[in-house]
């Protein structure tokens, strides 16, 4: 006990002499005594953890030895010692910026600390060094995110835990303070954009979305940003979608990633960025194997294609239209059967209208229309009467089926109202309410089909190029305000398929269901959020851990 007291007394003496000295560098022996005392009692360690970083700048020749001793304190079994040592870390680089990268690297690894008070100390220390030099600190912190190869399973587990904690720290502590931290604004926003772009090779879907949401929030890509800057965001997403790779229809991860990325790019297309690379890839790589896609993948893809068709260029429209017409004919059967997917037909008709609006004479050879633009591509001297007959017959059959389905759904909803009145438990009521809501959206799809087929029944149809048709899975457009259609159009279809907090279409419902089992099949997936990069599916490889010593 006496020895411990003596150690503390000596530490106070060393500290007082250094405090009082005008030329502290002359008291090297006192500082060496402080470093040595870090091997003493718990209280001596806590006091040393305060004094070592406080005076380290006066003894550059002892800086490495002092930091090594301080790191031993950070690994001490006593929580109080560790917390005090963590709090002192920013002082090691306050006047010696060459140490900053190492200190940030250490603090990044300490984010996996188990005790709340310890993690809180790490967070505060990191914020301190970020305010000292945000550019260097962010660069060092992002090194924990990138992929690292050739590690053992144990090392990978440690690295992965650190990586996740760094990402959470960026999301919760750094990104919300971007206005305060990223100064000067343009320079630092550009720097962090570069860091993000350099570390996207090995991210999960949710991590990628987090980074893209952050980049979108920067002034660099704000509402006044030119189209070429918005194109930069699209190019980042293109890289994540792996558009330079051969499409493998059996790779569920690639399918999901493509659909999610396509959905993510739509708001940027509306701001002037080009979607040509996505649409070309879709046309050349995916459309030829569309039949081999899983059913949910087909629907998710068609939903996103419908939305993106609004922004397709004339050239993209002309190239994609033949594939869309061919697919539309597959869904628009030539005989009256009930097993057709109305939602897919709605998507394809919407896409057809918007593509044909940009290149109307392309439909002459595809559908037998007689649209005159004065260009050789009109092909008016050729006979496409068979194509016209085939296409309009299919339209007529789909219209008949849609009207019949509307009648069936309307009757079903009346039955559901009676069932709801008779329901006794909350569970029964919730099930019926869900079914009523599903039927309402299904009615929208059928009504949309009728609205879009009606103008196509003439030799010279008028194709819709606006957003007056509100797709059935999207929240209804409110008439108040001049820009509601635009706002609605910006909503991601995979995330807002059924309004606000409503659940997807439930499978296997019992009593009180829709009148006909085929209704469920005809609208299968219309209210599902689909893959679209959600659900934590990994787009990841492996990395390697590291020691902070």
pLDDT in tens, 397-440: 999 999 999 999 999 988 888 888 888 899 988 888 888 888 98
184 preceded by cis ω (within 30°)? yes
d(CA 151, CA 149): 6
d(CA 135, CA 123): 17
Going by pLDDT thresholds of 50, 70 and 90, the confidence category of residue 146 is: confident
pLDDT exceeds cutoff 90 at 39: yes
Q: Angle at Cα 335 formed by Cα 334 and Cα 336, nearest 5°? A: 130
d(CA 198, CA 202): 10
- CB contact at 8 A, 343 and 438: no
Q: What is the pLDDT of residue 481?
A: 46
Distances (CA, A) of 389 to 340, 342, 377, 383: 21, 22, 21, 12
Q: In this structure, what token pair is assigned to residue 128?
A: 């301190």
Going by pLDDT thresholds of 50, 70 and 90, the confidence category of residue 494 is: very low
pLDDT exceeds cutoff 80 at 3: no
210 preceded by cis ω (within 30°)? no
Q: What is the pLDDT of residue 489?
A: 36
Residue recorded with tokens 């008709």: 349
DSSP per-residue codes, 309-356:
GGG--HHHHHHHHHHHHHHHHHHS-SS--S---HHHHHHHHHHHHHHH
d(CA 187, CA 169): 22
pLDDT in tens, 520-538: 444 544 444 333 333 333 4
Q: In this structure, what token pair is assigned to residue 5?
A: 């007291």
Return the closest-CA partner of residue 407 out of 450, 448, 433, 443.
443
Going by pLDDT thresholds of 50, 70 and 90, the confidence category of residue 380 is: confident
pLDDT exceeds cutoff 70 at 82: yes
pLDDT in tens, 313-364: 999 999 999 999 999 999 998 887 767 899 999 999 999 999 999 999 999 9
pLDDT in tens, 449-487: 999 999 999 999 999 999 999 999 987 655 544 433 333
Q: What percent of the chain has pLDDT over 90?
A: 74
Mean pLDDT of 260-273: 96
Mean pLDDT of 16-35: 96
Q: What percent of the chain has pLDDT over 70?
A: 85
Q: In this structure, what token pair is assigned to residue 538?
A: 């990994």
Residues in the chain, how many? 549
Angle between helices 205-217 and 252-269 (to 10 degrees): 10
Mean pLDDT of 56-80: 96
- Confidence (pTM): 0.82
The mean predicted confidence, pLDDT, of the chain is: 87
pLDDT exceeds cutoff 50 at 490: no
- CB contact at 8 A, 512 and 416: yes
Q: What is the pLDDT of residue 479?
A: 52
- CB contact at 8 A, 303 and 344: no
pLDDT exceeds cutoff 80 at 243: yes
pLDDT in tens, 155-193: 889 999 999 999 999 999 999 999 999 999 999 999 999
Count of beta carbons in the 10 Å neighbourhood of residue 100: 20
Mean pLDDT of 240-254: 94
On the 0-12 / 13-18 / 19+ scale of CB atoms within 10 A, 350 is buried
Q: In this structure, what token pair is assigned to residue 140?
A: 């060092």
d(CA 235, CA 217): 17
């Amino acid at each position: 006990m006496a020895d411990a007291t003596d150690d503390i007394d000596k530490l106070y003496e060393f500290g007082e002499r250094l405090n009082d000295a005008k030329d502290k560098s002359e008291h090297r022996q006192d500082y060496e005594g402080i470093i040595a005392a870090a091997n003493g009692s718990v209280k001596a360690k806590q006091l040393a953890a305060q004094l070592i970083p406080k005076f380290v700048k006066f003894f550059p020749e002892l800086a490495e030895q002092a930091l090594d001793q301080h790191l031993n304190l950070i690994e001490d079994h006593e929580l109080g010692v560790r917390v005090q040592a963590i709090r002192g870390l920013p002082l090691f680089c306050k006047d010696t910026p060459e140490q900053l990268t190492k200190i940030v690297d250490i603090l990044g690894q300490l984010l996996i600390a188990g005790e709340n008070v310890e993690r809180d100390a790490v967070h505060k220390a990191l914020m301190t060094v970020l305010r000292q030099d945000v550019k260097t600190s962010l660069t060092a912190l992002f090194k924990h995110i990138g992929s690292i190869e050739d590690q053992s399973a144990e090392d990978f587990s440690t690295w992965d835990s650190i990586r996740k904690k760094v990402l959470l720290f960026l999301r919760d502590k750094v990104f919300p303070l971007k206005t305060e931290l990223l100064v000067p604004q343009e320079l630092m926003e550009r720097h962090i954009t570069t860091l993000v772009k350099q570390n996207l090779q090995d991210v999960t879907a949710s991590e990628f979305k987090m980074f893209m949401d952050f980049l979108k929030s920067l002034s660099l890509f704000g509402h006044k940003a030119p189209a070429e800057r918005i194109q930069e965001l699209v190019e980042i997403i293109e890289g994540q979608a792996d558009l330079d790779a051969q499409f493998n229809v059996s790779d569920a991860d690639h399918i999901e990633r493509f659909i999610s990325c396509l959905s993510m790019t739509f708001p940027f297309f509306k701001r002037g960025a080009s979607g040509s690379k996505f649409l070309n890839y879709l046309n050349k790589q995916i459309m030829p194997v569309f039949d081999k896609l899983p059913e949910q993948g087909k629907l998710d893809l068609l939903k996103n294609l419908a939305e993106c068709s609004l922004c397709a260029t004339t050239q993209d429209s002309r190239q994609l239209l033949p594939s869309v017409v061919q697919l539309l004919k597959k869904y628009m059967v030539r005989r009256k059967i009930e097993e057709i997917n109305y939602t897919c037909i709605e998507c394809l008709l919407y896409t057809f209208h918007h593509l044909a609006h940009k290149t109307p004479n392309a439909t002459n050879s595809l559908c037998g229309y007689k649209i005159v633009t004065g260009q050789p591509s009109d092909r008016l001297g050729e006979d496409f009467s068979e194509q016209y007959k085939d296409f309009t017959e299919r339209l007529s059959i789909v219209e008949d089926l849609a009207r019949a389905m509307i009648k069936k759904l309307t009757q079903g909803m009346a039955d559901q109202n009676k069932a709801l009145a008779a329901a006794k438990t909350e569970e029964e009521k919730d099930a019926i309410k869900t079914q009523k809501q599903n039927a309402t959206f299904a009615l929208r799809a059928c009504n949309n089909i009728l609205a879009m087929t009606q103008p196509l029944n003439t030799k010279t149809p008028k194709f819709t190029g606006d957003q007056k048709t509100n797709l059935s899975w999207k929240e209804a457009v409110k008439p108040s305000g001049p820009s509601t259609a635009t706002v609605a159009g910006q909503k991601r279809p995979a995330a807002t398929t059924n309004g606000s907090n409503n659940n997807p279409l439930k499978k296997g419902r019992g009593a009180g269901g829709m009148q006909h089992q085929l209704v469920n099949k005809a609208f299968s997936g219309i209210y599902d959020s689909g893959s679209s990069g959600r659900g934590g599916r990994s787009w990841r490889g492996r990395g390697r851990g590291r020691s902070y010593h």
